[in-house]
Structure 1
Amino acid sequence: MSGAKATITVAGNTNLDIMVSGAAALPEPGTEAIVPGIDIRLGGSAGNLAVRCAGLGQQTILVSKVGEDASTRLVEQELALPGLQAVLVRDAGQPSGITVAVEAPGRDRAFISSLGAMAELTPQDVPAGALNTGTLVLAGYFLLPKLRGQAACELFASAHANGALTVLDTGWPSEGWTEDIRAEVRSVLGSVDLFLPNSDELAGLTGNPDPRAAALLLAEQTSTMVAAKLGAGGAGLALPDGTWLHTPARPVTPVDSTGAGDGFNAAFLACLARGDEPGQALAAAVRYATDLVATAPDHRGAVVLPEPLPL
């Protein structure tokens, strides 16, 4: 496989995350609350995925739009990794995007985001060299207003012209899964080879809470391979021909579930890039993500991509 065809290009949202721990609710106006900790780290679906792909030894290109401010310099430092080429397109007229994530025991994490420069990312910002790739991923779709709908289709068409596998990771729409949003995403999936939703996103898109049935119908209707992340249930893969593959996650004691979804996505894509069959990639990605959940973040560098199981 040539170097270009082994490369994964990720286009989308990269920003700093401000992680607020132990905040079950916002303080009343005019008051102050003390929390156990506030951490600043690299965030964004695209940035996290690119870092994880590079950490698996995959040559990776990341394309994001940022402002000219202090947060950009911190992002650059976080992206200075072996195997990762960060193409950060500057927009001096916009600040960089920032996300505040609030988490507390017993409740789901909540996010407040400012899009900043990422709202201006267009297909024209993706260099031609980054499209000469084996895989093109558009990540953080709903946070990229100028890369939605037809613009996304144009980007995928350019990648297809170079023989790339096209991949979509949408996230959750801030306006909810309206009928217009569902129609928009389905129209884009016609240009996508692989869709990477979690079970909640899949249910929101299809209106069907059964991930197997929802993924199979979506794959049939769009001719797109659908890899559905099922949390503690592992992951399932629906192929356009009606095949359903499922790999359960082995029982583990969770240490930190943060990044498990990005880890699954990166492992699945890395396995496809090395030539694994989709079923082998699914099994390896579930094992890898499960290992991440059972490993403290500071030790995750030792978690390696499993070898493919025999067909």
Structure 2
Amino acid sequence: MRYDVSVIGLYILDILGRPVTHIPERGNVEFIEEIRLTVAGTAGGVVVNTAKLGLKSLAVGAVGDDEKGDFVIDTMGRFGIDTSAMQRLTGVPTSATILNVRPNGDRPALHVRGASDHFDVAPAMYDQVFDAPIVHLGGTGLLKKLDGPRSVVLLQEAKKRGCTVTFDLIAASYETRELVLPLLPHIDYFMPSIEEARDMSRQASVQDCAAFYLDKGAKTCVFTLGGDGAYYASADGTRMHVPAYDIQVVDTTGCGDGFDAGFITALHHKMNPEQAVLFAQGVAGLVASGLGSDAGVKSFAHTLETAAGWRRKS
């Protein structure tokens, strides 16, 4: 196969600043410590990190024909990501977010939906898009054209071709479940945050959330629990809570995307479930140590070495 992973979905330019304590009144200026531009989104943040972790990665999404799109494509190219399946759309802006990162890590966002709303994967692209053992779909809920029946067809095709399917979404609400539930029988690893899982299922406990999605067809649930770590539940009966690493958090932007990338990389290296969750948490921890969705991530070996020196919360 040409690729180790094909990452389909939401590609965003993030413009981040920290620390932001308040927005100046009128036309006044406040000085902050850091501003950064990153390739982000539930696909973009994943593909950058899988590439940094050494996987041959294909980016499948859309950007506008604008300066923001130039940055997204050029940046991914510098990381060695194949961008030949990225669409450049005329007349719409690249999806972008301004994030004001507060000292406590909160990050109120201003978002332009843009090109990702117009993105679809045509059947003519299937031979390239599915030329990988792992296919990740990220961004359901903000992929207006691809969301719904088109995503069902896409994941059905991925499974027909023998791909392992990983999945994450963004800004989920109870209404989002109508987009997600039909996809679950075609998903091997369902990886939302516990907040998203609860909002869609209306189940309270982590265990009940997992049971809900497994009953609807998901093969395995891997929920990120923020500072409480992660929870793994498989249809084979495996249940596991893995505590988080005890680290100093700078910015949680993209931690879920980093976790996804780490878990995908662990699948590539055929780690067992506990090793996979721990490695994914290591990537997320590195992301949390700096500003943006790929902060701190350097390589597979560096992640293993760094995480080995961290203490886990009790």
Kept in 1: contact 2:185–2:217 (CA 8 A): yes
1:298 shift after superposition: 6.5
Aligned positions of 1:102-251 closer than 5 A: 102-106=100-104, 108-124=106-122, 126-173=125-172, 177-178=173-174, 180-251=175-246
Kept in 2: contact 1:12–1:140 (CA 8 A): yes
Give deviations 1:200-255, integer Å, cap 9, x for gaps: 11111111232233123322332331101112222111112342112112323334
SS of structure 1 residue aligned to 2:297 = helix
CA separation of 1:26/1:305 partners in 2, compared to 1, >3 Å: closer, same or farther? closer
Give deviations 1:59-106, integer Å, cap 9, x for gaps: 110111111111121112211235421132111122212111122124
Kept in 2: contact 1:97–1:116 (CA 8 A): yes
Alpha-carbon distance in 1 for matches of 2:221, 2:235:
9
Match of 1:34?
30
1:64 is matched with which residue: 61, 64, 69?
Answer: 61
CA separation of 1:172/1:298 partners in 2, compared to 1, >3 Å: closer, same or farther? closer
SS of structure 2 residue aligned to 1:197 = coil
Alpha-carbon distance in 2 for matches of 1:24, 1:292:
22
CA separation of 1:24/1:208 partners in 2, compared to 1, >3 Å: closer, same or farther? farther
Q: Which residue identity lines up with residue 262 of structure 2 in the other structure?
A: A
Which one scores higher on RCO, CA 8 angstroms, separation ≥ 6? 2
SS of structure 2 residue aligned to 1:166 = strand
Kept in 1: contact 2:101–2:251 (CA 8 A): no
Q: Which residue identity lines up with residue 91 of structure 1 in the other structure?
A: L
Alpha-carbon distance in 2 for matches of 1:293, 1:15:
19
Kept in 2: contact 1:216–1:239 (CA 8 A): no
Scaled by the length of structure 1, the TM-score of the pair is 0.86
SS of structure 2 residue aligned to 1:104 = coil
Give deviations 1:254-307, integer Å, cap 9, x for gaps: 344443322221111111122223333123222443355457876532663439
Q: Which residue identity lines up with residue 97 of structure 1 in the other structure?
A: S
Give deviations 1:6-45, integer Å, cap 9, x for gaps: 61100112221122334455556x5545241543322222
Alpha-carbon distance in 2 for matches of 1:19, 1:305:
24
1:14 is matched with which residue: 7, 11, 22?
Answer: 11
SS of structure 2 residue aligned to 1:218 = helix
1:166 shift after superposition: 1.3
CA separation of 1:43/1:216 partners in 2, compared to 1, >3 Å: closer, same or farther? same
CA separation of 1:33/1:198 partners in 2, compared to 1, >3 Å: closer, same or farther? same
Match of 1:85?
82
SS of structure 1 residue aligned to 2:240 = strand
Q: Which residue identity lines up with residue 130 of structure 1 in the other structure?
A: V
Runs of at least 5 residues in structure 2 that lack an aligned partner in the other structure: 309-314
Q: In the alignment, is residue 99 of structure 1 matched against residue 94 of structure 2?
A: no
Runs of 4+ more than 6 Å apart: 295-298
Alpha-carbon distance in 2 for matches of 1:48, 1:130:
18
Alpha-carbon distance in 2 for matches of 1:110, 1:295:
17
Q: In the alignment, is residue 74 of structure 1 matched against residue 71 of structure 2?
A: yes
Match of 2:45?
48
Identity of aligned residues (%): 26
Alpha-carbon distance in 2 for matches of 1:88, 1:207:
36
Match of 1:300?
297
Runs of at least 5 residues in structure 1 that lack an aligned partner in the other structure: none
CA RMSD of aligned residues (A): 2.6
Alpha-carbon distance in 1 for matches of 2:135, 2:204:
29
Alpha-carbon distance in 2 for matches of 1:16, 1:26:
21
1:197 shift after superposition: 0.6
Q: Which residue identity lines up with residue 143 of structure 1 in the other structure?
A: L
